[in-house]
Amino acid sequence: MSENYERIWKIVADIPVGSVLSYGEVARRAGLPRRARLVGQALGAAPKTLKLPWHRVILSSGRIAFSRGSAAYCKQAKLLRAEAVKIGDKGEVYAPTHTQTLDEVLWSPE
């Protein structure tokens, strides 16, 4: 069901440089609550041509999802550091959570 994948990709694509979002948050914002794992699948299946900022998606615990030492871990840490984001020794990501876009603020219901 690539329909869901596209919703997820769109959310990820909108995460600003230097900020991050958890898998669960991305899922919720994509209108797919409780499907954090689907976000992981969507990112893994994302075409390279999309050039998604997948490295800005981390665990709700604020750490990088990959195991320390893995190639993927190093790549993500490197990409984040390239955005001036600090990474702790155990994979803690010191970056602000992307809350909402100006559009969402102005158009939010209520």
Binding region for DNA (CB under 7 A) = 1, 22-25, 34-41, 43-44, 54, 57, 59-61, 65-66, 72, 90, 92
Residue 10 vs 37, nearer CB to DNA: 37
Residue 18 vs 33, nearer CB to DNA: 33
Distance CA(110)–CA(105), nearest Å, equals: 11
CA atoms within 13 A on the CB side of 56: 24
Q: What is the closest distance, in whole angstroms, from the C-beta atom of residue 106 to DNA in the complex? A: 26
Q: What is the closest distance, in whole angstroms, from the C-beta atom of residue 66 to DNA in the complex? A: 6
Q: Give, in order, the Cα–Cα distances in Å from 76 to each of 6, 63, 73, 81.
A: 22, 11, 5, 9
Q: What is the closest distance, in whole angstroms, from the C-beta atom of residue 107 to DNA in the complex? A: 25
Residue 40 vs 103, nearer CB to DNA: 40
Q: What is the closest distance, in whole angstroms, from the C-beta atom of residue 80 to DNA in the complex? A: 12
What stretches of the chain show up as alpha helix (H) in DSSP?
2-13, 23-29, 36-45, 71-81, 102-107
Residue 90 vs 105, nearer CB to DNA: 90
Which residue in the block uniquely carries the two structure tokens 């899922």? 27
